[in-house]
Amino acid sequence: MTEQPTPDLDGDELAADASIVDTILDLDELLSAQVRRAEKTVPIYTRGDLEGRIDALDDELLSLVDETGRPYPDRAVGERNPAAVSAEIEQLRAEYATSKVNITVRQMASDDWDEFRNTHAEAMKKVGTSEELGNEFWDALVAATMVAKNVTVEKVSAMRTRFGSPQVDMIAKAAWYVCTQAGIAVPFSLSSSLVMQQQRRETS
């Protein structure tokens, strides 16, 4: 058997070979680092009942002011003037805001996500179709991703008896997002971008 000659490597080839070694070393360093998987936080409010009262007061306020916010001089009745109604709205809005609870979900590790998908294989087949997955699947997903103490599927299911569908659905969508899409690109913030653009204009 003829021994194959060792090829001469030029500078570019040596650099490419070195880069492979660097990648291996970097991967070892990466694996030893403290990796934080993607998270998503969903704000939900426990005083949704206040929305109806705020809406009613908004309607009342609209009957007392014109389109510019100026009071109609002949429509204030006693203390029910625009300023009083507006103050009541702001008080309820503040009460609503203080009822906020942040629910945070965290991306599963790849092996855990594979196991979850295998466990719920039948439900996973329905993803992206018009078929209903059912609450059992979503409750299991939220329970597996929620960053909180003593989370169980039963406790997540019990949330459905206390909250409306919008709140629970938002948590489930966040859980699905972190497990299927998050952690692969730097999140874009339109608000931050606009602020930074404005600052650049002001300093230029």
- 170 CB burial (10 A radius; 0-12, 13-18, 19+): middle
Question: Confidence class of residue 198 from pLDDT cuts 50, 70 and 90?
Answer: confident
163 and 69 in a single domain? The answer is no
Judge whether 197 lies within some domain. no
**131 & 144 share domain:** yes
pLDDT above 90 for 36: no
Q: Domain range for residue 92?
A: 50-98
- Asked whether the whole model's pTM tops 0.75, one would answer no
Return the pLDDT at 19. Answer: 54
Please tell me the least confidently modeled range out of 39-48, 134-143, 184-193.
184-193
Residues 113 and 157 reside in one and the same domain: yes
Same domain, 61 and 117: no
Residue 10 lies in a domain: no
Selected residue with higher pLDDT from 79 and 201: 201
DSSP H helices in the chain: 11-32, 50-62, 82-98, 110-119, 121-124, 135-145, 153-159, 165-180, 190-203
Asked if residue 122 and residue 55 are part of one domain, the reply reads no
Question: pLDDT grade, residue 14 (50/70/90)?
Answer: very low
What mean pLDDT is reported for the chain?
80
**Structural domain contains residue 28:** no
User: How many separate domains does the chain show?
Assistant: 2
Residue range 137-159: average pLDDT? 89
- Which of the four pLDDT bands, split at 50, 70 and 90, describes residue 75? low
